[in-house]
Amino acid sequence: MWYLVIAKDHPGTLAQRLASRADHLARLNDLNNQGRLKIAGPLPAIDASEPGDAGFTGSALIVEFESIEDVRAWVSADPYFTAGVYANADIFPFKPVLP
Protein backbone atom coordinates (compact mmCIF):
# COMPACT_ATOMS: atom_id res chain seq x y z
CA MET A 1 0.00 0.00 0.00
CA TRP A 2 1.06 3.58 -0.61
CA TYR A 3 1.40 6.09 2.25
CA LEU A 4 1.69 9.87 2.43
CA VAL A 5 4.22 11.07 5.01
CA ILE A 6 4.24 14.68 6.17
CA ALA A 7 7.18 15.28 8.50
CA LYS A 8 7.46 18.61 10.29
CA ASP A 9 10.76 20.21 11.28
CA HIS A 10 11.58 21.72 14.64
CA PRO A 11 12.09 25.46 14.15
CA GLY A 12 15.69 26.59 13.70
CA THR A 13 17.12 23.25 12.57
CA LEU A 14 18.40 24.18 9.11
CA ALA A 15 22.04 23.49 10.09
CA GLN A 16 21.14 20.00 11.38
CA ARG A 17 19.07 19.36 8.23
CA LEU A 18 21.98 20.27 5.97
CA ALA A 19 24.45 18.23 8.03
CA SER A 20 22.30 15.07 7.83
CA ARG A 21 21.05 15.54 4.27
CA ALA A 22 23.45 13.06 2.63
CA ASP A 23 22.41 10.25 4.98
CA HIS A 24 18.73 11.16 4.57
CA LEU A 25 19.03 11.10 0.77
CA ALA A 26 20.91 7.78 0.85
CA ARG A 27 17.92 6.15 2.57
CA LEU A 28 15.53 7.68 0.05
CA ASN A 29 17.71 6.52 -2.84
CA ASP A 30 17.72 3.01 -1.39
CA LEU A 31 13.92 3.04 -1.19
CA ASN A 32 13.76 4.41 -4.74
CA ASN A 33 16.05 1.61 -5.98
CA GLN A 34 13.60 -0.85 -4.43
CA GLY A 35 10.78 0.79 -6.45
CA ARG A 36 8.95 1.91 -3.31
CA LEU A 37 9.44 5.69 -3.49
CA LYS A 38 6.79 7.60 -5.46
CA ILE A 39 7.89 11.15 -4.65
CA ALA A 40 9.85 12.97 -1.97
CA GLY A 41 10.85 16.55 -1.28
CA PRO A 42 11.28 19.29 1.28
CA LEU A 43 8.70 21.92 2.14
CA PRO A 44 10.32 25.36 1.79
CA ALA A 45 9.44 27.84 4.54
CA ILE A 46 8.86 30.55 1.92
CA ASP A 47 7.47 30.61 -1.61
CA ALA A 48 10.79 29.77 -3.26
CA SER A 49 12.35 26.53 -4.45
CA GLU A 50 15.64 27.61 -2.82
CA PRO A 51 14.60 29.29 0.45
CA GLY A 52 18.12 30.08 1.65
CA ASP A 53 18.30 30.95 5.34
CA ALA A 54 14.49 30.70 5.65
CA GLY A 55 14.97 26.94 5.46
CA PHE A 56 12.24 24.35 5.41
CA THR A 57 9.20 23.46 7.49
CA GLY A 58 9.38 19.74 6.81
CA SER A 59 9.19 17.08 4.12
CA ALA A 60 6.55 15.25 2.10
CA LEU A 61 6.92 11.68 0.85
CA ILE A 62 4.76 9.12 -0.85
CA VAL A 63 6.12 5.63 -0.23
CA GLU A 64 5.04 2.02 -0.57
CA PHE A 65 5.19 -0.36 2.39
CA GLU A 66 3.35 -3.49 3.55
CA SER A 67 1.77 -1.73 6.53
CA ILE A 68 1.51 1.60 8.29
CA GLU A 69 3.57 0.11 11.13
CA ASP A 70 6.38 -0.58 8.66
CA VAL A 71 6.24 3.04 7.47
CA ARG A 72 6.34 4.31 11.06
CA ALA A 73 9.41 2.19 11.81
CA TRP A 74 11.17 3.32 8.63
CA VAL A 75 10.37 7.02 9.17
CA SER A 76 11.38 6.96 12.85
CA ALA A 77 14.86 5.72 11.84
CA ASP A 78 15.39 8.59 9.39
CA PRO A 79 18.56 10.64 9.97
CA TYR A 80 16.46 13.80 10.21
CA PHE A 81 14.76 12.34 13.29
CA THR A 82 17.99 11.17 14.87
CA ALA A 83 19.61 14.58 14.18
CA GLY A 84 16.70 16.40 15.84
CA VAL A 85 15.38 17.99 12.62
CA TYR A 86 11.97 16.33 12.50
CA ALA A 87 9.61 17.10 15.36
CA ASN A 88 6.98 14.61 14.19
CA ALA A 89 5.61 12.82 11.16
CA ASP A 90 2.01 12.23 10.18
CA ILE A 91 1.40 9.13 8.07
CA PHE A 92 -1.73 8.56 6.00
CA PRO A 93 -2.80 5.70 3.76
CA PHE A 94 -2.76 7.00 0.17
CA LYS A 95 -4.63 5.76 -2.88
CA PRO A 96 -3.18 7.05 -6.15
CA VAL A 97 -5.85 7.95 -8.70
CA LEU A 98 -4.32 10.41 -11.20
CA PRO A 99 -2.36 10.68 -13.39
How far is the C-alpha of 10 from the C-alpha of 68, rounded, in Å?
23
On whether the 2-94 domain is CATH 3.40.190.10, my answer is no
**Structure confidence by residue, pLDDT tens digits, 12-38:** 999 999 999 999 999 999 999 999 999
**Structure confidence by residue, pLDDT tens digits, 43-79:** 999 999 999 999 999 999 999 999 999 999 999 999 9
Strand ranges in the chain using DSSP code E only, listed in sequence order: 2-9, 37-44, 56-64, 86-94
Q: What is the average per-residue pLDDT within 3-8?
A: 98
Instruction: Give pLDDT, residue 41.
Output: 98
Domain spans, the chain: 2-94
Which secondary-structure segment (H or E) carries 1? none
Confidence of residue 99 (pLDDT cuts 50, 70, 90): confident
